[in-house]
Structure 1
Amino acid sequence: MKLYKVTAFSQLREKSGISIKSLAGLTGKCERTIYRWERGETNPDPKIMEELKLMAGETLTKSPNKSPFFSFIDLFAGIGGLRKAFESIGGKCVFTSEWDKACRQTYQANFDCDHEVAGDIREVDPDSVPDFDVLLAGFPCQPFSIAGVSKKNSLGMPHGFHCDTQGTLFFEVAQMIERRRPAAFLLENVKNLVSHDKGKTFRIIMKTLKEELGYTVSYRVIDAKGWVPQHRERIFIAGFRNDADFTFDDMDIPDPHEGPKIGTILHPENGTEEEEPPYTVGEYGEVSKKYTLSDRLWEYLQNYAKKHRERGNGFGYGLCGPNDVARTLSARYYKDGSEILIRQDGGKNPRRLTPRECARLMGFDKPDGRSFVIPVSDTQAYKQFGNSVAVPVVEAVARHMLPSILEARRHQNHIEQPSLFEVAGNA
């Protein structure tokens, strides 16, 4: 059997998660040509190589002169974690909705919005939203009531999700999908969505998306530990309007045991990082003393943990050193910081993470970065990061979805608009 050398093209194609058959379909090239590139027999189109780099995550920024590959809307946007990820693969946000005023402040401080950031999605007419290809939503989890459905049906009243989910925020997502029929969507929620209300909530959601709205749907619970130093499990539900060769089953997930440790996102406090008041101060950029727990709070947390250990419970604080992985950062972190406390030398009490370290822990900043603007109080910042998504995880999800998004977009547009690969291959 003849063996072929590993080429830069084959490595990029495998890393991007796209098959030779799919790539041929997207580029308009024959499979024989793709195989020749794969084997190094001929040189691949350089523009297609650049697009593969984007899909593989090696190029996370687009040239400002290039047209967006697809458009999307950002519902329940929070501080823009989903948007940040989907912009990284060439998407353009055309509409945003977020009800929380403080979140909107942070969102608008970090994104160049050429559109108004709407408030409560329940007050938005779906038909007033600009055309878009992909819907993104990190909707809150709420129980659904199915009481009285039979009676409503007999009276000719709304049925299906119009009845089952009426009054919930998922209803707003489903209604937007029904009215606008996007090529694709990505929904994000807590892991417990699957078991919420004894599984009824998730069953209604899946029935709505698959049977009533007619989308091909795949979902997966993903732990962020492979990307960031935090145990954070979230469910991602992806759907495509037309039959799509998409599944989360073949998504490449980094080994969580090989992921980064929390020391990578902490302030070094050795003078290598410029001070950033109010988080760090002084010549060596030391973490401000206000983040160190008071003697009273530290004593309370230790006694609380001891009491629950004696009862056989696992409740307590989470104390981390540089080589550890943190528990899940929650929106309640501002209260006492107990789920993620950082050990300190010199007999000091442990401390909370600073909001800048939270930005790094959630992937809004690189491990040593500080570019994400935090214009709100510490309390608001902790709530916002605790409620958000781990950006590198969503970037990986977005890259995995990209080939199917492009294919669904082309199909929905009756192949009137060329894909980015056709543009690259025929330019």
Structure 2
Amino acid sequence: VGVVILPNPSIQPFKTAIRNASVPGLTEDQPIAFRGVDPHTVEGYKQIHVSTEVAASLMDGNACLEEFLKECGGVFISGARRKKGRRGGRGSGRQSLYRDNEGDDISTSASSTDLDESERASPLFTFVELFAGIGGFRIGLERIGGACVLASEHDPIACRIYRRHFDNKQVSTSTSVNENESDKGNTNQEIWNGNRHHLLECDMLDVVSDDFPPDGFDILTAGFPCQPFSARGEQKGLNDDGHRGQLYQELVRTLMEQRPPFFLFENVVGLVTMEGGHRHADRDSEFAKPPIDGKHTFKSGKVMERILDAFRGCGYKVEWKVVNSGRFVSQYRERVYFVGSLTELNCPDMEWDNIYPPEEEKPPILRDVLEQDYAQSKAVAESEITLQQWEKLQLIHHGEAATRARLKVEDYAPTLISSYRIPASPATRFVMEEADGTLRHGDPLRPRFLTTREFRDIMGFPDDFDVSAPYNNELGHIYQGLGNAVVPPVIEGIGREMLRLMKLVKQQ
């Protein structure tokens, strides 16, 4: 990261200079955009927060850019991040923790109903949720007594969904901060003295040390961007257009600066197998029935090893495991989870078998998740595809959409993704049989998408998680948010095992 200080008339010419400088990572058709433009203390100048590609090019001594800055009297400052008051779209959606300043229990969260009174009044551990999305980590960890002390998310719609759920769960008393109040006049120390959590709506590149609680926290969590590593994309990995493939380095920075005792990160399984990694199928099944028909062992590739080395280089013991959500919810969903602990803690190894629910607690099949009163359901009616979409779907699947594009109601769902509500996608699977066996093969009922309620349940989010449209009556935002999320019951299972280890370390 970095900032360029320029005279006002030189801002637009600077974009032209960037275009002519052959900056690595920027394509010819890619618009030149700044992360932000802020006032400077010197009148007539601006602070230009450049993209990571431009910052890296300037740090490498790009001759064209250096010549431009010299001619216009500009200067580049490496490592500078945006100030709090200048973060685009930053919100103040703060929520209190489990206790107000008087020590009274004020939690009304449905996700904490399994805890006894003493656990709700005094959190067992605290955590920070970076790349928070719609709050999957938080839901899972709050169920076992954790308290979120900071969250950060860049996407404004995800932030709206996050606030809509969590703002209604924990209500502050006399120490509350109005959601519309600005941060002006409130120092970070004052915020933490008030025992309040807040959501930072800003680029992760601008989250700084002062944003974190001064007394520290126990676990750093993050589902860092997966698009560069996903097998559904181009898999550009660490060389992804933009800086998404390198954002794990922001977690490295945070680990180095904050030194939390533990961390829990998540990403797609494609990260494990990139550049020389692979999987091996073991037919000794660990699951009850297909499609989850065997246990896989994985060997990490070069990209995975580079990221692991970076985390270890921060002074952490790092373990990882590919976990399939099929033991927790009605979905085949493989994700890799990283668990880290400070090396000086001498933390025992994770017992990964402990994360799973008991064998007798099998998740429901899809038939049990589908809308029961589908004939009267407005959501079901609105999820039915049009005749034109049905005809196009038949073309995509060569006339065999009724078998190739169906969800198997006696089984699990395949991996649900953020682009699920796209009818033309060959990967989308549709409800073609209702819970009572009624077929939707086009006459009279056409296939339909999963409703947002069904999608939510298959992802393991709680019943009180609002799945109405968060903005402009557009339900696609809900599918996108849920499709990008972690599965909360998986996080809960891993969290329980981490909590066991935390207690052992404390005893030692």
Question: Same fold judged by TM-score > 0.5?
Answer: yes
Structure 1 segment 11-410 matched on structure 2, within 5 A: 60-63=114-117, 66-112=121-167, 114-118=196-200, 119-130=202-213, 131-141=216-226, 142=228, 143-144=237-238, 168-198=246-276, 199-210=301-312, 212-241=313-342, 242-253=345-356, 258-269=362-373, 284-285=376-377, 287-306=379-398, 317-336=404-423, 339-344=428-433, 345=438, 347=443, 348-365=445-462, 369-372=463-466, 374-376=468-470, 377-408=474-505, 410=506
Is the partner of 1:334 in helix, strand or coil?
Answer: coil
Q: Partners of 1:167 and 1:298 in 2: how far apart?
A: 37
Inter-CA distance 135–239: structure 2 relative to 1 (3 Å threshold): same
1:302 to partner: Cα distance: 2.2
User: Could you say which structure has the greater relative contact order, defined with CA pairs below 8 angstroms and 6 or more residues apart?
Assistant: 1
Paired residue type of 1:189: N
Amino acid at match of 1:96: A
Q: CA–CA distance in 1 between the matches of 2:351 and 2:388? A: 47
Aligned partners of 2:112 and 2:120 also within 8 Å: no
- Going by fraction, where is helix more abundant, 1 or 2? 1
Q: Residues of 2 paired with 1:329 and 1:268: CA distance?
A: 21
Q: How many residues align?
A: 314
Unaligned 5+ segments in structure 2 are 1-110, 171-195, 229-236, 277-300
**What amino acid is the match of 1:247?**
M
Give, in whole Å, the separation in 2 of the partners of 1:386 and 1:221: 18
Question: In structure 1, how many angstroms separate the alpha carbons of the residues matched to 2:365 and 2:154?
Answer: 34
Tell me the residue number matched to 1:52.
none
* TM-score normalized with structure 2 length: 0.57
Higher strand share: 2
1:225, 1:256 within 8 Å by CA — same for their partners in 2?
no
Change beyond 3 A, Cα 1:386–1:81 = same
| Displacement of 1:343 | 1.4
CA deviations on 1:101-145 (whole Å, 9 max, x unpaired) are 000000011114743311211101124311211000000144336
CA distance in 1, matches of 2:414, 2:483: 11
Measured at CA, do residues 394 and 305 of structure 1 come closer, stay the same or move farther in structure 2, by a change above 3 Å?
same
Cα pair 2:123 2:145 within 8 Å, conserved = yes
How many angstroms does 1:323 deviate by?
A: 1.6
* 1:166–1:65 CA distance, 2 compared to 1 (3 A): closer
Q: CA RMSD in A?
A: 3.0
Q: Which residue of 2 aligns with 1:53?
A: none
Shift of 1:405: 2.6
Q: Cα distance 1:350–1:238, how it changes in 2: closer, same or farther (>3 A)?
A: same
Deviation at 1:374, TM superposition (A): 3.8
Query: Following TM superposition, by how much is the alpha carbon of 1:339 offset from its aligned partner in structure 2, in angstroms?
Result: 2.3
Instruction: Give deviations 1:253-294, integer Å, cap 9, x for gaps.
Output: 356995421122221117xxxxxxxxxxx8x44544221111
- Per the TM alignment, residue 354 of structure 1 is displaced from its structure 2 partner at its CA by 1.1
Tell me which stretches of 4 or more aligned residues in structure 1 moved more than 4 Å. 254-258
Change (3 A) 1:318 1:82: farther
- Counterpart-to-counterpart distance in 2, 1:393 and 1:256: 17
- Give the Å deviation of 1:172: 0.6
CA contact (8 A) 1:78 1:98 kept: yes
User: CA separation in 2, counterparts of 1:384 and 1:85?
Assistant: 16
- Point out where structure 1 has 5 or more consecutive residues left out of the alignment: 1-56, 146-164, 271-281, 416-427
Which amino acid in structure 2 is aligned with residue 364 of structure 1?
F
Tell me: CA distance 1:166–1:319, structure 2 relative to 1, closer, same or farther (3 Å).
closer
Alpha-carbon distance in structure 2 between the residues aligned to 1:166 and 1:342: 34
DSSP 3-state at the match of 1:319: coil
In structure 2, C-alpha distance between the alignment counterparts of 1:237 and 1:305, rounded to whole Å: 38
**Contact map agreement 1:96 1:116 (CA 8 A) in 2:** yes
Is the alpha carbon distance of 1:403 and 1:370 closer, same or farther for their aligned partners in structure 2, counting shifts above 3 Å?
Answer: closer
8 Å contact kept, 2:126–2:218: yes
Q: Distance in 1 between matches of 2:273 and 2:408?
A: 33
Q: Which amino acid aligns with 2:207?
A: V
**SS of the residue aligned with 2:129?**
strand
Taking structure 1 as the reference length, the TM-score comes to 0.67
Contact 1:223 1:234 in 2 (8 A): yes
Q: 1:249 to 1:89 in 2, by over 3 A?
A: closer
1:306 maps to a residue whose letter is H
Pick closer, same or farther for the CA change 1:355–1:166 going to 2, 3 Å: closer
Which has the higher mean CA deviation after the structures are superposed, 85-94 or 321-330? 321-330
